Amino acid sequence: MTEMITRKEWKRYGIAAIICGILFTLLEIVPMIVSVQDHPYGGKVVDKEIVLERAVSFAEESSGYVVRDEKAVHQSDKLFSGYLSKEKLSQKFEKEYGVNFPTDTFQVNLRFEDRKGSGFVYLNMYTGSVVAWNFNLRDGDTVAEQEQRELLQQYLQNKPLPGSPPSDLTLNNKGEWSLTASGDPSIVGEADLHVSFKVQSVDGEPIITKYKPTFEVPASYKSYVSGQDKLAGWLTGIGYALMSVILGILAIVYAILYRKFTSFKYGWVLTIIFTIAYVIMNVGVIDGLIASQGEAPFDDSILLVTMVITVLVSIPMAASVYLSIVAGDGLWKAQGRQLWPRLGQPGYGDYVWKSMGLSYLFAIILLGIQPLLFRLLEVLIGTWGTSDVTMSPYNFSVLWLMPVLAWAAAISEEAVFRFFGIGLFRKWFRNTFAAAILPTLFWSLGHVLYPFYPSTTRLFELMVVGLLFSFIFVRYGFITAMFTHAIFNSIAVGSSLIMVGGAANITSAIFFVLLPVLIAYVLRYWDRRRKAKSLPRPLAE
């Protein structure tokens, strides 16, 4: 525990934190600032309210129909973004083609009044200009082929495509037109620009109801990514989801078997906090789920269904966290270790306060190590990343609450995989290091669906980070590990909020990073007051 830490250890971790803090600044913060400064629009995103106004205005002017409902979500071309990242072309593409053919857009989902159809309008996130659209009009009439061709040719004269001259317009059996243009290889690599069109007549006037330019990546890249996504799905399903269920069942068994070493009164406060954070987290990412469905029709029932599913899933999740805490406490005490002291025990307040101090040092150390691991993996296995709309801050409904993700993950993962998992396997293997490997592996496999390729990137990275978390947990206890995990995650999430900007977002980012200080202070104050009340009062003279 922290009371056993020598001054030399504090000094050692402090020096390591300073070094890693410098590394984190040089490898993460500085490049982030430079990228914003180099961005054509300073990275400043148009407000969603403005986006909605422009999308509705465009849709109504183009179709002549009145828009009934509208919703804006952040959309991204994950495949092409990843290809640009792999080929080191992202910045060049953004400067040359990003205005008219952005990889990231605001997708506005629309529904017209009187059930006249629906549509999607795509706007540049930084300029607010319309860059693509697709209307499905139920009352739209067909237009003669030659008239359609002339309309599209006239449109293209005013909107030239990049690179070599485009191919001739071709009409498919679905009534859609398309053409292909080869962009500059030094900007888009081997990707080709494909543009699809559709023309319909509304009240006797032909209009372009669809204009969608997309960059088609090479078939070899698409095939590779598809294979990696399937691999990640299997690794997550078997290595993480299945093993989490098994650990949950084992937690029930060992909570009962070791009940004499623990109490079922333990863990309920953390479980309640986790449950609230988990529900907020899942309801908050609904926009991300909508965006991930592409041009699937959106409906208000999605919100209701998601909330019901979230509440139902939160019950076994909360039970798993609670039982892991109870079973883990019993297992460790049975093995002669108390890795989570309780309020009321001698020195509890000071223990929590010192744990908090250590946690900030460890979090900074891990933040410095993580980018080094990514740089190493870039060299060894060619790691690259891409976008993921389900994790976008622009798709979180109440953005300033996004840091609750950090705490939900910290509580559940430290309880299930460290507190219970390591305790269980240490009981079986009689060796602490061996006991840490399997829970760390299961935990790491739960992150391979993140947008990094090859899919094993995060497995390799988090095996190292996870074993360091395991060391922190075994050496300094559950509270230190949980605080470290929460601070580590909060800084990562908080940086996204700061990049988005806004007083509420920045305040929230700072608050959640500093929250362990507040928690530790309150618990130490409470502990000292309890101690003072328990002292005998002097006799009156």
User: What is the tens place of the pLDDT at every residue in 40-51?
Assistant: 777 789 999 999
Lowest mean pLDDT, pick from 128-142, 239-253, 347-361, 406-420? 128-142
Residue 39 has a pLDDT of: 76
Residues 6 or more apart whose CB falls under 8 angstroms from that of 55 comprise 70, 72, 106, 108, 110, 121, 123, 130
Taking Cα atoms as reference points, which of 332, 290, 324 lies closest to residue 108? Answer: 290
Q: Where are the domains of the chain?
A: 48-217, 233-531
Both structure tokens of 391: 């994790």
Angstrom distance (rounded) from CA 453 to CA 232 = 10
Angstrom distance (rounded) from CA 191 to CA 194 = 9
Strands 384-385 and 205-216: unpaired
What SS3 class is residue 422? helix
- Convert 136-167 into a string of H (helix), E (strand) and C (coil): EECCCECCCHHHHHHHHHHHHHHCCCCCCCCC
| pLDDT per residue as tens digits for the range 467-514 | 999 999 999 999 999 999 999 999 999 999 998 888 999 999 999 999
Instruction: Assign 538 a pLDDT band (cuts: 50, 70, 90).
Output: very low
Residue 111 has a pLDDT of: 92
Residue range 181-201: mean pLDDT, rounded: 89
Taking Cα atoms as reference points, which of 493, 444, 497, 490 lies closest to residue 467? Answer: 444
- Indicate the pTM of the whole model: 0.91
